[in-house]
Chain A
């Protein structure tokens, strides 16, 4: 290198040049320093976070299916389970046609060669792509036609399925974009729109199920098709929900039926057994599911989190109502996931969490037998002349409903000791209702689970409750007697009369009948109104209401059977859902009571004592109250689940500490009501005036009360056009609620509540059904009855128990 001395210092600009180069060098060094600082911040400060992001793009995830939990009855019989099956899914690009375009571009590139392709202009490229397009479109059409054929669909049905997937995905995409744009707007103000980029959402590359539950052979064919045409379709392992006990065949012994219905054995195919309870699933994910529990959630920072138990648009099994819906999150389980790193093939695996199995307290065979009693072929749940009787001269009494009109109803059987629900039937069932035409369905509401959703005035069945409550609250002595003079407010007053005190009966009174004042046994068995008006008035509406509440009226019992109801915001948009499926019943509120007291209403506080007025309860609540009475006041609300549910709200407990003596007397009244000739639930008379016992099961003991509760006028829309054509008045709901046990044991084991909507007289219409329920309890071994009196029955079998492919859903 040249040394410094070589250069004369007089030369132009040498030192200036060096100074300037130093300045340039310093500037360059500063630039370098700044860049190095930036790179340091990137690699060291943001390094691990960005590394994670870069790594995440190497992960390929596959979801692993889980199996939805099964539902069994108390004896372990499977009521609902998922069995292996296959789904056919079409990739989204094949659904919206993008498959043809991408494949056409790739094919055109391949045909021309990469180097030549680079030289082509846009128009020439497009021309070559177009040439490929036709063949590929035909190929896709071929695949879709094959799918339709194998799946036993028409091509149009398949197109409709695809269209609906497309609609859902597009909706979801625009919702996602809208949400992201909203985030952008919040962050960057109004110019966000101009910069907004509609990134495809994951669903726009995934496969979507168009047909669920195809057979193994079809799945094999379609798997081959999928391999031959990659990117079009996919056959996914899946499950199908089956309900083995959805139907059963019952041989109904009619030897102990009411005389007009008596006959030989009736073979019945019972449909939709316990479908209100078990519920059903749908195979389509709805908006509300996605709102409630989405598979992917995009956070406010744009971060994506995944809930492996969440829903993805398209086909998935979702509990739609009943237990399937209530315990959806438990039954559903969680999918698993394998994440494979594409470069190292290193795999992490999250095992699927199988859905929980649920065991119900129901006895499905008993349920089937009880449900069968309501079938029209049997005749018990229809308007019969003997429900209304005949006049003394033999002419049939006027029936408000047409002869043999089908009646809706419900029946509940509880185990007194445990509170477990052995049977809860609502008639008509969901499955039966599906065969109704629209007008009938609109009139009879088959989807309503009357056992817990139907709320009816209790009528006289409330009377034993009123008595023990009054004794316990100290306003009424257990042994007090009351004179029945037929009228409570005065001779001429049309209100507050005893049911026996009519012109037809020549103004009879119970005191006249038994020649003296009534003790509680007579009051209950004869169902005297005056006795209970008196008690109610003495208690006051406030105390009476409190006691009704103590017995479970006016609150949900948390049976846990769901019906989906949308939760709306003020604008009427669905913002979530809520589970209903139980009616709390009706009790006057504190304000309502205060109003009644302040207006000096004399009637309501009095008729509340005979189960009329502003009070109502469900058949389940009625059975529950009677079971509480049978336990001497120990509260153990009706329970449907054997399996404990994590996170479930604590259930009502407590002890009403009823006066044992009052309970004994009330029970004696209930026994007399059934067993003594004068009891309201003792006998029914038929056309020939010959009476027959309502309860005829041998070897059992029954404590029961009938109720005939005024029903609101029935609005009838005969032609189903949505307008009311006529209104039927004078109807009564028929109750028969009681307790039953083996005669030898002499204690109540089961609480039975039967309700027939507009059934008229409780003893005559609901009573015979309760009688058959007791026979069913004997048939299923819950009561011994009298073993000598009947042959052993063969155990009930569901229809299709031996078949491989049971039908889809209960609903």
Chain B
């Protein structure tokens, strides 16, 4: 009698696009051997809006609000990258006052991004409580954005050459108050998660990505730093005056999911440090540099990258000397970091795939653009 009925057959499982823990409309086709993952295949494009193509039919100033809609969790960083790119093309530099305010807002945005990552990642793993607390703190950051520029999520806070809005009354007080209370809130999250045995057991050794893997795949941001490479665009290629601030690049050794959690928690503390330093040194002066009303950069091409909360965010802008950019290419951190899913998920359990997707910290608006 043959035992053919005992042979295990490969099982194909569709995870998403309507799966709550894929953080959007990501579809992952899992090939399973029992509970183990043999291979994964990402299907992306459900949220494709053709942002890069839209850029070709808009003027430089008009396109700025669209970049906010790629990584809508950290819209301020997106806007900063784009504005820096066009400024480099125009050979102008933002005024000193604008630069400091830009640093403050992008670091606040980094905190907001990591907070929503922490809440949703913990929710995926099964810890519901941190989500409520992180959302509460994120709300304070969003209130500051709302008071400063009138929008909470898709802020459009920066303009080419500097800022559009003057600081509102009490801007520094609000941020100082947030920076005062936030580290103790971080301690609260840490007492909920860092020491928690379930949390540690669930994350330790899951989804290991070595430094070599990261470099092969072009993975940047907290994933790379968790693997032990101290690469941060803010330190390596300083922009917006980041070289004046004293902060550290948190790194870890093994590059598993727990390390990435540790790195991001440390990054939030470093962001608070940067904001506190920047608050004391907002210079007076104009908020926007002398930029022509009609922006018509000379023909040429430029690549500018900034350290977005998710990794290196690059803008490659080609100008042909007309009013519209000839080409705007975005190097989105989420898209490149997502490619590491295949390597991390191989041999993992299905439940760990959820943790791995969560730890990459993707936003599908940015993956698909």
Decide whether A and B assemble into one complex. Answer: no
Q: Which residues of B contact A (CB under 8 A)?
A: none
